[in-house]
Structures are given as structure tokens and as C-alpha cells.
């Protein structure tokens, strides 16, 4: 399962530049605080719980995330047909054949991107929290979040999994997140983690952490002694001039 989760997170990061929630229905909130365990974010607390206030810049332009690379699976549409005169119409559908473990399909629509408004101010507040022993240097914070109106995620847990979907309306294979399509599972073979038209997921996010220069300053590196007996103060004895926080990105190799 770890290979599947790592592949899912790595694949979405390579395509969109965002980290992915795991499991995909895990609720992520702006200002969540935690640690990185490998490629996965593990929540431990929040800025709110720590008394750190921040303003939110809420997204107002909806967008569609559509994984259409079809790597590791094939989608075959199936048109609605009349089986015989006087009998009900057989519903339209499609077949998804997975050819590798960890292959996934990710469609999310009506997505809005929210951000922490003033990350510089938050960073300076966190330095004070650290000095009060209320913040750990390995903690990361969710500074950007994608809210999805509707999401369909399919992840294969085996090499030869297969899923057949059907719908009363036509199925758009390029956007399986449409909730009005009434998509249901007709049949399944093998293990598949699936979310069909799930409302209100927070599937993607970005993280921030202290910059290395600020970590060195907070740790109070000792003065540097040069040849000749002269002693020069380390740059770490005064606050660095650059921004406090930087993007926190796990190793994606």
C-alpha cells in the first residue's frame, strides 16, 4: 500500500505541483500543522490551536484538474443501446482497465485555491512560537489548499484490476467528476480504491517550513573563529534578511 500511496502523491506532484492528501478523502485544512513522513503529510495540530492567527485569500475562479495522461490504464467508452424493441435502453458506460499497480485516475471539478494571505507575518509569528518552545523545527504548515466541488479518484491496488461504470446520462471520460451524470459501478475486478463524484474533498495542498538560514539563526550557531585569532560573528547571530518560510517538498525520487 505504501508503494501505491507514494506513486499517487508523486504522480500528482509531477503533474500539478501540488502535494496530495492520503488517503484521498483525508480532510486537510488551511493552517494545518504536521510533519512529513516520506512523501506523506501527517497532521498533528493547527495554527488556530496554537493561537496563531492568519487571514485567508479565498479563490474565486473555479478550475478543473483532469489527469488525462492515461498512464497505466485504458478507458473504453460504451454507448447506450436498445437491446430489443419494447425493452429498456441499456445504460451508457465505460470500461477502465488497469495495467499496473498504483495507476490512478484523478478528476476534480469546481476547484478553488485558498491561500494564507500574509505568509511573511505568519513566519515571524512562528519564530516567536519556537522561542517559547511552542513550535518544532521539523513542523510544516499547509499554506495553500485546493477545495474541490466534486472529485472522482480511482487507484488500482493490483496490476490487472478492471472497473466498469454506467450512467443514465452520457459519460464524459474526460470529466468523471460530474455528479449529475449518476455514475455507478456496474462491475469490478481486483482491488481498486475509488471515490465517485465525492463532494467536498480537499485533495491537493502545498506546505511551508522554516528556511535553512532561519533554522541556523534559531539554533544560535556559535561565532566563527578565523586565522590570526580574530573572531567574526556568525550570520546566525542576527535575523536573516530573507523570508522566514519556504516551500516544503518531500523527496520525490
DSSP 144-178: EEEEEEEEEEEEESSTT-EEEEEESSPP-TT-TT-
pLDDT score of 80: 59
Task: Say if residue 142 is exposed, middle or buried (CB neighbours under 10 Å; 0-12, 13-18, 19+).
Answer: buried
The H or E element that residue 11 is part of is helix 2-16
| Count of beta carbons in the 10 Å neighbourhood of residue 38 | 12
Instruction: Note the pLDDT tens digit of each residue in 111-148.
Output: 999 999 999 999 999 999 999 999 999 999 999 999 99
Rounded to 5 degrees, φ, ψ at 10 are -65, -45
**Alpha-carbon gap, residue 152 to 202, rounded angstroms:** 12
CA-angle at 45, arms to 150 and 147, nearest 5°: 15
Question: For 65-117, what is each residue's pLDDT tens digit?
Answer: 987 667 899 998 876 554 445 444 457 789 999 999 999 999 999 999 999 99
Matching residue, cell 525520487: 253
Assigned C-alpha cell, 236: 546566525
* Coil, helix or strand at residue 105: strand
Please tell me the predicted confidence (pLDDT) of residue 92. Answer: 75
pLDDT value, residue 150: 96
Residue for cell digits 492515461? 70
The SS3 of residue 221 is coil
Q: Which of 6, 250, 207 is nearest to 116 (CA)?
A: 207
Nearest to 7 by CA among 16, 20, 17: 20
Does pLDDT of 20 surpass 80?
yes
Is residue 232 over pLDDT 70? no
What are the pLDDT digits (tens) for 150-174?
A: 999 999 999 999 999 988 767 888 8
Q: Across residues 230-251, what is the average pLDDT?
A: 76
Provide the whole-model pTM.
0.88
User: Per residue in 171-225, pLDDT tens?
Assistant: 888 899 987 777 889 999 999 999 999 999 999 999 999 999 999 899 986 555 5
Is residue 107 a contact partner of residue 24, using CB atoms and an 8 Å limit? no
Amino acid at each position: 500500500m505504501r508503494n501505491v500511496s507514494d506513486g499517487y502523491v508523486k504522480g500528482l506532484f509531477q503533474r500539478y505541483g501540488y502535494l496530495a492528501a492520503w488517503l484521498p478523502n483525508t480532510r486537510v485544512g488551511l493552517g494545518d500543522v504536521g510533519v512529513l513522513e516520506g512523501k506523506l503529510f501527517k497532521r498533528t495540530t493547527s495554527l488556530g490551536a496554537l493561537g496563531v492567527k492568519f487571514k485567508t485569500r479565498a479563490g474565486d475562479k473555479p478550475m478543473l484538474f483532469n489527469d488525462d495522461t492515461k498512464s497505466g490504464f485504458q478507458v473504453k467508452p460504451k454507448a447506450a443501446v436498445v437491446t430489443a424493441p419494447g425493452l429498456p435502453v441499456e445504460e451508457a458506460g465505460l470500461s477502465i482497465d488497469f495495467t499496473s499497480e498504483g495507476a490512478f485516475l484523478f478528476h476534480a471539478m469546481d476547484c478553488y485555491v485558498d491561500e494564507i494571505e500574509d505568509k511573511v507575518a505568519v513566519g515571524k509569528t512562528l519564530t516567536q512560537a519556537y522561542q517559547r518552545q511552542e513550535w518544532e523545527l521539523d513542523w510544516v504548515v499547509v499554506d495553500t489548499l485546493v477545495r474541490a466541488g466534486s472529485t472522482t479518484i480511482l487507484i488500482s491496488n493490483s496490476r490487472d484490476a478492471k472497473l466498469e461504470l454506467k450512467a443514465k446520462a452520457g459519460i464524459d471520460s474526460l470529466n468523471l467528476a460530474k455528479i449529475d451524470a449518476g455514475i455507478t459501478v456496474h462491475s469490478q475486478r481486483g482491488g481498486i480504491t475509488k471515490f465517485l463524484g465525492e463532494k467536498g474533498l480537499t485533495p491537493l495542498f502545498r506546505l511551508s517550513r522554516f528556511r535553512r538560514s532561519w533554522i541556523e539563526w534559531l539554533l544560535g550557531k556559535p561565532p566563527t573563529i578565523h586565522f590570526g585569532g580574530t573572531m567574526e560573528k556568525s550570520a546566525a547571530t542576527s535575523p536573516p534578511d530573507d523570508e522566514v518560510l519556504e516551500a516544503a517538498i518531500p523527496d520525490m525520487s
